[in-house]
Structure 1
Amino acid sequence: MNIKLKAGNIFMILIGSVIFSFGIINFNMAYHLTEGGFTGIALILYHLFGISPALMNLIFNIPLFIIGYRFLGRTSFYYTLIGSLSSTFFLYLFEKYPFNFSLNKEDLFLVALLGGVMIGIGLGIILRAGGTTGGVDIIARVTKKYFNWPMGRVIFMFDCLVLVITYLALGDIRITLYTFICVYVGGQIIDTVQDTGYTARGALIISEQYQSIGDAINTVLERGVTQISAHGHYSNIERPMLYCVVPKNEITRLRQLIHAIDPHAFVSMIEVHEVHGEGFTLDENKQLIEAH
């Protein structure tokens, strides 16, 4: 069985695990906040009984590894395994060697913001690299794959359930509300990190030289072009309109290419938040479904 693991993805998962674990231990745990998902439950158990969050994180993830193996494919499963084990290791490491920020324990709003940002960035990097830290992250990746639901939103919904448990277990509405702020900020950051870099541009091009422009985009940029029948309302002339999608780093080249052929071409750029298919995500999708 050919399992393709990229060194760059593994490196990013490790970096994300460091950031995520640092935020959990040095903000949430240190200032008596909890979190969402299974990490939140682990923190509740820590605050009540002093049980290590790293240990509980590992225990909670064992049954979920089966789900990840069944639904995510071999490659994604191994990324998940790396993310879960590395986050467990770094949680343990930061438990043993915490960083003292000397923040006022009454200033929980700042703590919640910092914790949410750190956790969101860490999880966003891990998810974007194809892994998870286990727990609800596995469920979020499965729903992203099969239903295209935003992972940050899925995680947030599960987190709300844990917030209710937080209030019932700790009986402190203040802690619960500040944890909610942390969870909400984290969810927004996750979606931001997920979208960053994937944003492309869709170009609508109208020109008398449409055939030359289309051929140039095919050969020079090696991007596909769709020819759409269009009718000018003012000119009352039928003229094909070209549509193509390019990554952000190729926008300048596309503009220069069009201008060189027809300086008077009408070009409209629209933002594209998600692109699937050859040249964009085809190889990644193959990895996600392989080994089934």
Structure 2
Amino acid sequence: MNIKLKISNIFMILLGSIIFSFGIINFNMAYHLTEGGFTGIALILYHLFGLSPALMNLIFNIPLFIIGYRFLGRTSFLYTLIGSLSASFFLFVFELFPVNFALNKEDLFLVALLAGVMIGLGLGIILRAGGTTGGVDIFARVTKKYFNWPMGRVIFIFDCIVLVITYLALGDIRITLYTFICVYVGGKIIDIVQDAGYTARGALIISEHYQTIGDEINTVLERGVTQIAARGHYSSVNRPMLYCVVPKNEITRLRQLIHAIDPHAFISMLEVHEVHGEGFTLDENKQLIES
């Protein structure tokens, strides 16, 4: 059994769990909002019967661990186990030691906004590190793995179902709508955190000096370059087009390098959301996450 757990991933999962739990207890629970997923159901039970969200969150996730183990593999399952247990633990800690922000309970927009940012940031960090907090997160990671569906969108759909349950259980449309704001913001933040580490630019370069430009990109920027066969529509001239991917912090250097060789070179920049392979995910010194 080959299981590889990275200390950095475990640290990020714990950090994300702290942020997530802090938001749940000090914004959602403190100001009578709920949430999406199984955490939302736990908050509904808290508002109705005073049951501990930390305890209920743990109980709800026990049967889902089996699903995580079956579909995510041993390594992802262990990350999920760490995320679920740490989330329940920090929920319990913040239940014992809550922070009073003294926000206006009559105007819940700011509360919902802050809650969404905290929860989305926490979950986004956990998901990027390969873990989940259990519940809907497990389904989101499974659908991401097998169908490449955005995890934030999957979580948002499940959250909407819980919002309907929130309204039916609590009978307060105001709480439901502010919870919707929280859930929506959280879903967007998750996607932003998921994409942030991979955001790069793909450069399409057309120049008579393509060989020199390609060599300079290889040696100066230490980036790979691909030559693509191209033909000008008007000139009918065959000339290779260069394609390379660089992180955002190297875009200016790339432009300067190209213009120094050929000021008339045609450059088109494309936004790249995910990159895998040598020079990026396989090279510790060139990780896009560092940009």
What is the TM-score of this pair, normalised by structure 2? 0.91
Name the count of aligned residue pairs.
Answer: 284
CA distance in 1, matches of 2:216, 2:142: 39
Task: Write the deviation string for residues 33-86 of structure 1: whole angstroms up to 9, x where unpaired.
Answer: 110000000001111111110011111111111111121122222111111111
The structural deviation recorded for 1:248 is 2.2
Q: Structure 1's 144 and 279: CA in aligned 2 closer, same or farther, altered over 3 A?
A: farther
Structure 2 SS opposite 1:230: coil
Task: Write the deviation string for residues 190-234 of structure 1: whole angstroms up to 9, x where unpaired.
Answer: 111111121111011112222333344445544433222222234
Alignment of 1:242-281 (within 5 A): 242-281=242-281
User: Who is 1:146 aligned against?
Assistant: 146
Partner amino acid, structure 1, of 2:211: Q
The structural deviation recorded for 1:252 is 3.8
Alignment of 1:21-170 (within 5 A): 21-170=21-170
CA distance in 1, matches of 2:215, 2:48: 67
The structural deviation recorded for 1:95 is 0.3
CA distance in 2, matches of 1:10, 1:143: 22
CA distance in 2, matches of 1:142, 1:280: 24
Task: Write the deviation string for residues 137-178 of structure 1: whole angstroms up to 9, x where unpaired.
Answer: 111111111111111110000000001111111111111111
Structure 1 SS opposite 2:230: strand
CA distance in 2, matches of 1:78, 1:219: 41
User: Who is 1:180 aligned against?
Assistant: 180
CA distance in 2, matches of 1:84, 1:215: 49
User: Who is 2:224 aligned against?
Assistant: 224
Q: Structure 1's 22 and 73: CA in aligned 2 closer, same or farther, altered over 3 A?
A: same
CA distance in 2, matches of 1:190, 1:225: 32
Q: Structure 1's 222 and 3: CA in aligned 2 closer, same or farther, altered over 3 A?
A: farther
Q: Which moves more between the two structures, 259-268 or 55-64?
A: 259-268
User: Who is 2:205 aligned against?
Assistant: 205
More relative contact order, 1 or 2 (CA 8 Å, 6+ apart): 1
Q: Structure 1's 71 and 223: CA in aligned 2 closer, same or farther, altered over 3 A?
A: farther
What is the TM-score of this pair, normalised by structure 1? 0.90
User: Who is 1:289 aligned against?
Assistant: none
Partner amino acid, structure 1, of 2:137: D
CA distance in 1, matches of 2:116, 2:109: 11
**Unaligned stretches of 5+ residues in structure 2:** 284-291
Structure 1 SS opposite 2:239: strand
Q: Which moves more between the two structures, 125-134 or 259-268?
A: 259-268
